[in-house]
Chains A and B, each alone.
Chain A
Amino acid sequence: MIYRETGQYKTSYESDQQLFPILQDKAFILIVLAFVFGAVPFLASEYLFRAILIPFLILALAAIGLNILVGFCGQVSLGTGGFMAVGAYAAYNLAIRLPDLNLLVVFLLAGAAATVVGVLFGLPSLRIKGFYLAVATLAAQFFLDWAFARIGWFTNYAPSGSVTAPAIRIFGYTFASPVEKYLLVLAIVCIFALVARNLTRGAIGRSWMAMRDMDVAAEVIGIRPLYAKVTAFAVSSFFVGLAGALWAFVYLGAWEPLAFDVNRSFQLLFMVIIGGLGSILGSFLGAAFIVILPLMLNQMPGWLGMELSTALISHIEVMVFGTLIIFFLIVEPHGLARLWAIGKEKLRLWPFPH
């Protein structure tokens, strides 16, 4: 009834190719943006900001990065945690060695550093495919973990190997309270989500998707595999590195290489798969699912007034988590983004399904 595109005429190619061709979609996005920027800062509690919203946003950014690689270009990577670490340590070194540099520039350069490393580890993808590549990317994960633990220069020779981020000052303004941090992260994530959306709609995104669907065929029609795969690794690593820098500076504050271990890589891959391969929206949905679900499962018995031991709660948490993963994969292998699309289709016909 309300969700109809009837009467919205497209009279030029530009209007047909715009980001949100349907008026209602545009309105919806604007409302959501107004809500998250305008209303959430007044509504949410400190816990919600610090423990849920900020990690959710940062991990969503990393998931977008991974989704570009896995969902759009079809190259499975298990080294995401390592690339996040590159971003985090690059940002740390830039921030303490060049204290006058604007922190936004630091974050972008951190992303650039991750890009370089990502391209380096992405090159083998020209030869190695499928699960072989997935496992081979673990080489990046373990090597980077080791490098940040062992090479003193990266941690500024901290005796314990743990480093702490400096305060977040941008243009002389210190982002200290959770609301301020939330808004900073939100702004960055929104901008880069938009960038990602447009990249994937453009020529480069199409060459990635062609590569994913069938690399030989893509090559035949004139897409250079080197260019397509390396750009996918580069863009993906940039996002992931940026997310790593934010994770370290905004969320953790102090960290050690273990914060970016192989479990982080798996967690991000879960987000991408559960959310939906090849969907920017899916990255957000997946991140929300994976961040919130364990916390919810962990606190559920408390709300229901059940007295369970901490150990049992944790065990139930992992079991239900595992089961739900399998459940979602069975009922909707294309992820939550697909559910959203189905919902929209239904809404189009509602309430007269004929």
Chain B
Amino acid sequence: MKTSIKLKVAATAMAVAGALGLAQEVSAADEIFVPVLVYRTGAYAPNGVPWADGFVDYLKLVNERDGGVNGIKLAFEECETGYATDRGVECYERLKSKKPVAVNPLSTGITFALTEKVAADKITLMTTGYGRSESADGSVFAWNFPLLGTYWSAADMLVQHVAKKGSLKGKKIALVYHDSPYGKEPIKVLEEHAKKHGFTFIKLPVTHPGVEQKATWLQIRQQRPDYVFLWGWGVMNSTSIKEAIAVSYPRLQMFGVWWSSAEPDVLPAEAAAKGYNGITLGHSNERAAPVHKDMVKHLYSKGKGTAAKKEQVGDVLYNRGMLSALLLVESIRSAQGKYGKRVVTGEEVRWGAENLNIDAGRIKALGIEGMMQPLKTSCRDHEGVRKGRVHTWDGTTWSYTSDWYEADSKFLRPLVEAQAKAYAAEKKITPRDCSKEK
């Protein structure tokens, strides 16, 4: 009995000692710090892992191949969020002491939670292809950068694509969505489009994590929508495709957002997923671009790669993680262009992200030709570019099956501005006057 009490006391003491050790700070003055909020475990790991690998690999590549950004090395540290908002906030707070310049949390929920914090802490919040759609309006959302495209752009492009196949009047479009801020984002735009084009819009929410969809697809079988848009993440995507097979819904009429059209989504359904489509964020599973060759040359051949297998370099989500890191690095570079080739601050990187100008020549120089369209940001527009193509799974790989679409700014911009204005009013933010910014 006596020993057991000692044991207990020892265990408690250990816990207390550990708690005291939590407050420690490390900082290096000659490096730029980039926190990497990822999820490599849990329900969303199959999708989180390739993105994280791509993101980290690009940061490594910049250090290995170029010796950093203009000679300044990048330091980074991963933190596991598990796609949970409170864990994400904790990660952000933990890594904040290292003076990060920009953060890319890969979660719309975490983005919502961080939006106010980053403005106070002066850290740029980059949400490549996700996040709040209205944050494209930089006059209100100075620190948010939904680069490459927002969900509203995605919804708009998908409607353009299906409208091209024939008038949508009297047709039915169903949205199968993840019941979270992420999944709900496109609803507003699709509702507006339903009014404009005269189609019936059916909303079918799927509860987290999305393994229970039988009832959803029975409803689809009953209502027989002409198109199904899929706004899922993680295991929900592959489950949707499997349930579509189980009710014989044609995969050709299914269109996923860019987060619902990657390898982990279609591979579990194997050959049956053939014909499934997705709108891309400007890139698909390109594998042979110069940047991929560099990855292999500088990282994987030396055993420094992050992904488990070399073959994963170039997967859809790997590419997306890589491009996300690339845009972050380019923002740093752009900031250095104005403020000098030194360790820049979060505020300076924000300026850099707002004044990105990646033209065709630069895209070629970066070795990502064909994976990104020319991008130019401004105070007014934090999205930079809103173009995508549809790609289709042929059973083994993705291939493009449409021309380029560009989200209709005339249609979306008023929505973005109205929403941003409402946010500004609620938070008592005075929007910046973009004509005075340079």
Contact = CB atoms under 8 A, between A and B. Distances in A.
Interface stretch (B183-191, B262-270, B378-386): B183-191
A260 to B, nearest CB: 10
B223 interface: no
- Mostly, the B contact residues are helix
A51 B7 contact: no
Contact of B187 (A149, A159, A310): A159
- Mostly, the A contact residues are helix
A27 B185 CA distance: 55
Of A162, A164, A176, A324, most buried by chain B (CB within 10 Å of CB) is: A162
Nearest to A312: B40
A258 B44 CA distance: 14
B419 A259 contact: no
B382 to A, nearest CB: 17
Contacts of A296: 15, 18-19, 21-22
Nearest to B415: A159
A162 B108 CA distance: 10
B82 interface: yes
Contact of B40 (A303, A309, A327): A309
A351 to B, nearest CB: 16
B408 interface: no
B23 A161 contact: no
5 contacts: A159-B187, A162-B112, A259-B109, A292-B22, A339-B9
Contacts of B117: 253
Interface stretch (B83-91, B296-304, B362-370): B83-91
Contacts of B79: 310
Contact of A48 (B4, B22, B109, B188): B22
B185 A51 contact: no
Nearest to A142: B207
B431 interface: no
A255 interface: yes
Closest 3 CB pairs of A and B: A311-B40, A160-B181, A51-B93
B184 A160 contact: yes
A314 interface: yes
A244 to B, nearest CB: 13
Interface in A297-323: 298-300, 303, 309-311, 313-315, 318
A289 B108 CA distance: 29
Contacts, number: 143
A150 B183 CA distance: 13
Nearest to B90: A51
B97 A46 contact: yes
Interface string B194-235: 000000000001011000000000000000000000000000
B96 A160 contact: no
B9 A343 contact: yes
Interface string A229-261: 000000000000000000000011111101101
Given A47-B97, A310-B38, A314-B40, A258 B109 contact: yes
B109 A256 contact: yes
Interface in B167-193: 179-182, 184-185, 187-188
Given A46-B96, A164-B427, A159 B85 contact: no
B305 to A, nearest CB: 12
A210 interface: no
B18 A254 contact: no
A309 B49 CA distance: 12
Given A45-B23, A295-B90, A313-B80, A252 B113 contact: yes
